[in-house]
Chains A and B, each alone.
Chain A
Amino acid sequence: MEVNEQLIQAITRAVVEQLRRNGVQPPYGQNAQKPSEPGVNTLAGKTRMRPKHSYEGAQKAPQGTDPKEIVIGVGAAFQTEIRSTITGIPLEEVIRNVKAGIEEEGMTSRVVKVLDTSDVGFMALKSAKLSGSGIGIGIQSKGTTVIHQKDLYPLTNLELFPQAPLMTLETYRRIGRNAARYAKGEMVTPIESVNDPTVRAKYQVKAALMHIIETEQLDPDKGMIPWEDGDKR
C-alpha cells in the first residue's frame, strides 16, 4: 500500500482538531500555550497528552484466594482520562456488562487498575495471576480485551478480542460469561471473532492517541490497585 505522508498528516490534524473541539479531552498540558493555529505543529514541545493522575495513597491490590473470583484488570486511563471506548461506549457500561456476565454464571468479580503496563496481554496475565481462580480479563481503555489464565505464556491466551471498534456491550457480556466458564472448567465456545479490514484504516490514529494517553498514565511503583467503584473517583 502506498503511504501518503500528506494524507496521514491531514488525518492526524483532523483528529487532533476533533479532540480539541470536544473540549473534554484537551490534548495539551494545563500550562501549555494556546495554539495559534490548529495542526500537528502546535504539539511541538509538548511532552504530555494529559496531566498525570495521582494515585497517592492507593494500596496495592491483594492476592485473591477465592476460587470463584475473576479479576478484571483495566487500563491506566480507564474512567479517569478516558471515559468511553474507541467507539464511544461508556466504560462503566463495559465494566457493568462484563461483571453481569460473570455474575450470571455464579462467579464473583473484582476490578483492579493495572498501572505497570498498558499492553493488554500483560494486563490480562497480571490480572489472572492476582485472581483466585487464575482467570483474568484485561481491558484497555479503548476497549481491546483479552481473557487470560495465570499459567499461560504472556503471548498465548484464552481469548483475544483485538478489534476494539467492533465490540458491543453484548460482546462484553459474553466475555464475562466465558471467563466465568473457564474458571468453572466448563466447555467454553469461544466468542466468534468479527473482522472488518476497514477498521484499521478508520481507527488507527485514534487508537494510537488513546494508547499514548493510557501509557503516559502508567505508574509502575503502584502496580495494581483496587478499582471497584472506578466511576466515582
Chain B
Amino acid sequence: MKLIAGVDIGNSTTEVCIGGVTDSGEFRFLSSASRMTTGTKGTLPNVLGVKAALEEAMDRIQRPVSDLSLVRLNEAAPVIGDTAMETITETIITESSMIGHNPSTPAGAGEAVGELLFIGNLWKGKPGVPYIVAAENRFSYEEIASRLNQYIPELDICGLILQADEAVLVENRLNRPMPIVDEVRHIGKVPEGKLAAIEVALPGTTIRMLSNPYGIATLLKLDAEETRAVTPIAKSLVGKRSAVVIKTPHGNVKENVLPAGEIVLHGEQTLQVNIDAGADEIMDTLARAGEIRDIDGQRDTNVGNMLNRIKTSMADVAQVGGDEIRITDILAVDTLAPVEISGSLAGETCMEKAVGIAAMVKTQQLPMQQIAARLERDYHIHAVVAGVEAVMASLGALTTPGTTLPLAILDMGGGSTDAAVLEADGTVRTTHQAGAGELVSMLIQTELGLESRVTAEQIKKYPMGKVESLFHMRLENGAMQFFEESIDPRYFGHVVLLSPGEMLKVEEDIPMERILEVRRDAKRKVFVRNALRALRTVAPDHDIRRIPNVVLVGGSAEDFEIPEMLMEALSEYRIVCGRGNIRGKEGPRNAVATGLLLSYLGTGER
C-alpha cells in the first residue's frame, strides 16, 4: 500500500492527513494530526511544524515518516493576517475637578454639598458653613472619627473624603451619618476652600445626582452656561458607585480626539476615510471602493503608522521588498478600551474609543516551493505543492455527510476568513477576508483591559463559571455545578474558564456577565460581519440567498458558540449552515488536508 500525506499550513495551525492507496487503486484515510504553525504562514520556519505533525500522524499508525511516498502541500493563498489597535480619544481632568471611581467599600449614602477642608485645618472652620472634610492616610480611622466627633457639634460637616480604605471603619465611629468616599489616592491634589458636591450610592445602585448635569447644577447652583460646561463630568460619572464634583473656575473633563488620521483605499476608485468616522463608515467606504489594490494611511498619524507597521513586519517575514507588500483587505471594528484618565485623583478609568483593525496582506507569492524542497531534502520523500487552498477546502468539506454541490464553505481560521463556492460544474469562486480569531482575542483583551493575550485567547475558547463556594460554582448559563471534593481554594470567588481537564483562573476582577458580554460581542462583530461580507462576494450575482448551503470549517468553526451565531445570522437568508464534519469524524478541522488527498485521486498520478 502506498502512503500519501496532505499538509495544510494555516495562519495558526498546521493540519496533516494521511491516506493509503492499495495496489487495486482503493483509497482509505488512515490518520491525521494537527500542530501549531511555526513561524508565519508560507515561510521556511513552517517546516518544523509540518515535520512534527507528520511524525505525530505517522506515529498513530505506527509507521516511520520515511514510509510516505508523497507529500502534498497546499498552495497557500499568499495572504497573511495581522491585527492592530489604536485608541482615538483621551480624557483629561483639568484642575482636579472630580473624583469618580468605584471604591469597593464607600460608606454612608446620599449626597451633600460643602466647602472642602482638610482635617488638619478643622480648627479654621466657621460655624454655619457646610464642609466636606478630606483626610490623608497619616491619620488613623480612630483619630479621624474622634476629631470629627469633636467638631460635629459646632461645625456643619456633611461629607468626608478619605485617602485610606477606611470609609466603613470611620462611619461606624461617627456620631452623624454622612456620605464617605475612600481610596482617593492623590488626596493632596484636592483644592481646599472650593465648593464640592459628594454622592455615595446605596449598594447595588449607581449615583444619580452627579451623573446628571442638572443634578450637578442643582447641588452646586450653576447657571445654564456652567451646566453646559459640566456635562462631560456628568457623562464620565455614569455608572459609578461614588463621586465628588468640585466647582473650580476652569475645571472640567475634556475628551480629546487624537489625530487618528485618514485611511486611503486604492481600489477601482481611490477613496479616503477618517478613522474617527467609525468602523461602519470605514467598511462602507471599503465596499464602495471596489476591488482593493492597496490600502495605506496618512503619514505620521496613528493609523498611518499602524498600517506601516503591519506592512514592514510582513515584508520582514516574507523577505521581499516593501513595495511588493500590499494590503488588500481590512476589517475595522469599533471598540472601547479602559484607560486611566490623566489628571485623576483616584485612578479613575474611562472607556476610550478605539478602533481595531485586521489587515490582509498580499505578497507576490509565498515561498511554498522552498518548503516542499526542504521537506524533500530532509525526508527524501517526493513533495509537491498542489491545489489552491480554497478549492481543497471545498473538496474536503464535501466529505461532510449530508452535503451536496453547489456548496459554499466558510473557512474561519486565526488570521483570515475565507469563503469559496464550488458549483456543480466544477467552477470555484473564492475570497479572502481580513479578520478572524486573532482579532477576536485582541478585542477581548482590549475591552476587558487584560494584561495578557493568553488570557484573552482562553476566554475566547472556553465557557466560564464562577466559583461561589469551595463546593459549587455557577456556570455562565446560570446553572449550578456541585463538587464532591472541595475545589482548590486558589479558585475561590474567581471567574474560571472550564478548559478540558483543568480550570483556568481569570486574575482580573471582572464580573462574569461582563466577560460574557464582551466575548459574545467580539465574536459577533468579527465573524458575523465577515461571514456576510465574504459570502456576498462569492455568491452568484452577489446575492447571498442564492447560496444553498454553507459548511463551516477551520479552527474557529470548532468554537462552542460561533457556529450557532452564524446559523442564527444566516437563517435570515434561508441558508442551511452548520459546522462541517470532515470525513464524518474530524469535525470542522482538516478540510484542506483531506481535500489535498482527494484531489490526488483525481489527478491520476497514481
Known: A103-B168, A104-B166, A149-B470. A157 touches B493 (CB 8 A): no
Asked if residues A188 and B168 are in contact (CB atoms below 8 Å), the reply is: no
> Contacts A104-B167, A106-B168 given: A181-B493 contact, CB under 8 Å?
yes
User: A87 at the A/B interface (Cβ < 8 Å)?
Assistant: no
Set of chain B residues within 8 Å of A157, measured between Cβ atoms: 489
Instruction: Give B141's nearest chain A residue, CB to CB.
Output: A100
In the complex, A15 Cα to B172 Cα: how many Å?
44
Q: Which residues on the B side are within 8 Å of A212 (C-beta)?
A: none
> Is A43 on the interface with B (CB-CB < 8 A)?
no
Closest residue on chain B to residue A152 by CB atoms: B486
**How far, in whole Å, are A187 and B491 apart by their CA atoms in the complex?**
9
Q: Is the CB of A156 within 8 A of B489?
A: yes
Interface centre among B166, B490, B492 (most CB of A within 10 A): B492
Name the one of B169, B468, B493 contacting A104, with C-beta atoms under 8 angstroms.
Answer: B169
CB nearest neighbor in A for B494? A187
CB contacts under 8 Å to B, within A105-163, are: 105-106, 149, 151-153, 156-158
B495 at the interface (CB under 8 A from A): yes
Residues of B within 8 A of A182 (CB): 492-493
A186 in contact (CB, < 8 A): yes
Q: In this assembly, does B469 line the interface, its C-beta being within 8 Å of a C-beta of chain A? A: yes
Chain A residues positioned under 8 Å from B507 (CB to CB): 189
Kindly state whether residue A185 has any CB partner on chain B within 8 Å.
yes
Dominant SS at the A interface? loop
User: A residues within 8 A CB of B340?
Assistant: none
B493: contacting residue among A106, A153, A156, A186, CB under 8 A: A186
Task: Flag if B105 contacts A104 (CB, 8 Å).
Answer: yes
A103 to B494, CA, bound (A): 23
Contact in complex: B493, A188 (CB < 8 Å):
yes
Chain A contributes a number of interface residues (CB within 8 A of B) equal to: 21
Rounded to whole Å, the gap between the CB of B64 and the closest CB of chain A is 48
Q: In the docked arrangement, what's the CA distance between A64 and B595, Å?
A: 68
Q: Whose C-beta in chain B lies nearest to the C-beta of A186?
A: B493
Which A residue's beta carbon lies closest to that of B488?
A156
B471 and A151 contacting across the interface, CB-CB below 8 Å: yes
CB distance from A47 to the nearest CB of B (A): 40
Residue in chain B with minimal CB distance to A107? B168
B473-490: contact bitstring with A at CB < 8 Å (1 yes, 0 no)?
Answer: 000000000000010011
A149 to B489: give the CA distance in the assembly, Å.
9
B493 touches A103 (CB 8 A): no
Binary interface profile of B, 88-109, with partner A (CB < 8 Å = 1, else 0)? 0000000000000000110000
Task: Establish whether residues B469 and A185, one from each chain, have CB atoms under 8 Å apart when the complex forms.
Answer: yes
* Cβ of B165 under 8 Å from chain A: yes
Contacts of B469 in A (CB 8 A): 185
Query: B509 at interface (Cβ–Cβ under 8 A)?
Result: yes
In the complex, what distance in Å separates the CA atom of A224 from the CA atom of B426?
84
A105:B105 contact, CB within 8 angstroms: yes
A156 to B172, CA, bound (A): 35
Assuming the contacts A187-B495, A187-B509, asked whether A105 and B168 have C-beta atoms less than 8 A apart, the reply is: yes
- 8 Å CB interface, B155-179 against A: 165-169, 172
Other-chain residue from B471, B489, B493 in contact with A187 (beta carbon distance below 8 A): B493
Q: For A188, what are the chain B residues with a Cβ–Cβ distance below 8 Å?
A: 492-493
- Are B493 and A185 in touch, CB under 8 angstroms? yes
8 Å CB interface, B486-521 against A: 486, 489-490, 492-495, 507, 509
Query: Which one of A106, A152, A181 contacts B470 once the chains associate, using CB atoms below 8 Å?
Result: A152
Chain B residue at minimal CB-CB distance from A180: B105
For B494, the chain A residues whose CB sits under 8 A away are 187
User: Could you tell me the distance in whole angstroms from the C-beta of B94 to the nearest C-beta in chain A?
Assistant: 32
Mark B164-199 against chain A: 1 for CB-CB distance below 8 A, else 0: 011111001000000000000000000000000000
Bin the interface of chain B by size. Answer: 20 to 34
Provide the bound-state CA to CA distance between A100 and B469, in Å. 24
Which of the listed residues B468, B469, B470, B507 has the most CB atoms from chain A within 10 Å of its own CB? B470
Alpha-carbon distance A156/B486, docked complex (angstroms): 10
Of chain B, the residue at the smallest CB distance from A150 is: B470
Q: What is the bound-complex CA distance between A104 and B145, given in angstroms?
A: 14
Residues of B within 8 A of A153 (CB): 486
Chain A residues, CB < 8 A from B104: 105
- Interface flags for A92-108 (1: CB within 8 Å of B; 0: not) read 00000000100111100
Query: Which B121-139 residues sit within 8 Å CB-CB of chain A?
Result: none
Question: Which residues of A sit under 8 angstroms from B489, Cβ to Cβ?
Answer: 149, 152, 156-158
- Measured between beta carbons, the chain B residues less than 8 angstroms from A100 are 141, 166, 169
Task: Tell me the smallest distance from the CB of A25 to a CB of chain B, in Å.
Answer: 29
Closest partner residue, chain B, to A159 (CB atom): B489
With a cutoff of 8 Å between Cβ atoms, the chain A residues found around residue B169 in the complex are 100, 103-104
Identify the interface centre among A104, A106, A152, A157: most chain B CB within 10 Å of its CB.
A104
Return A172 CB to nearest CB of chain B, in Å: 14
A151 near B105 with CB under 8 A, answer no
Q: Which residues of B contact A104 (CB under 8 A)?
A: 105, 165-169
Provide the residues of chain A in CB contact with B492, threshold 8 Å. 149, 158, 182, 188
Q: Which residues of B contact A156 (CB under 8 A)?
A: 486, 489
Nearest to A181 among chain B residues (CB) is: B493
In the complex, are the beta carbons of A151 and B486 less than 8 A apart?
yes
Q: How far is the CB of B514 from chain A (nearest CB, A)?
A: 13
Which of chain B's residues have a CB closer than 8 A to the CB of A151? 470-471, 486
What string of 1s and 0s marks CB contacts (under 8 Å) between A73-105 and chain B? 000000000000000000000000000100111
A177, B169: Cα distance in complex, Å: 12
* Chain B residues with CB below 8 A from A149, complex form: 470, 489, 492
With a cutoff of 8 Å between Cβ atoms, the chain B residues found around residue A177 in the complex are 165
Q: Which residues of A contact B471 (CB under 8 A)?
A: 151
B contact residues around A181 at 8 Å (CB)? 493
Please name the residue on chain A nearest to B166 by beta carbon.
A104
Residue of B nearest to A182 (CB): B492
Q: Mark B446-489, 1 if CB is under 8 A from A, else 0.
A: 00000000000000000000001111000000000000001001
A103 and B486 form a contact (CB under 8 A): no
Given contacts A152-B486, A156-B489, A187-B494, contact A103 B172 (CB under 8 A): yes
Q: In the complex, how many angstroms separate the beta carbon of A210 from the nearest chain B beta carbon?
A: 28
In Å, the complex CA distance between A106 and B172 comes to 10
Chain B proximity of A157: nearest CB distance (Å):
7
* Complex CA–CA separation, A138 to B205 (angstroms): 36
Q: Looking across the interface, which residue of chain B has its beta carbon closest to that of A190?
A: B490
A156 to B495, CA, bound (A): 21
Contacts of A106 in B (CB 8 A): 105, 168
Bound form: Cα–Cα A156–B485 in Å? 13
Determine how close the nearest CB of chain A comes to the CB of B304; give it in whole angstroms.
40
- Complexed CA–CA distance, A153 and B486 (Å): 9
For B172, the chain A residues whose CB sits under 8 A away are 103
Complex Cα–Cα for A190 and B489 (A): 10
> Residues 210-232 of chain A: 1 if any B CB is under 8 Å from the residue's CB, otherwise 0?
00000000000000000000000
Given contacts A105-B105, A152-B470, 13 further A-B contacts (CB under 8 A): A103-B168, A103-B169, A103-B172, A104-B168, A106-B168, A149-B492, A152-B489, A156-B489, A177-B165, A185-B493, A186-B493, A187-B493, A187-B509
Closest 8 A/B residue pairs (Cβ): A187-B493, A104-B168, A158-B489, A187-B509, A104-B169, A186-B493, A187-B494, A188-B493
19 contacts between A and B (CB under 8 A): A100-B141, A100-B169, A103-B168, A104-B165, A104-B168, A104-B169, A105-B104, A149-B489, A151-B470, A151-B471, A151-B486, A152-B470, A152-B489, A156-B489, A157-B489, A187-B493, A187-B494, A189-B509, A190-B490
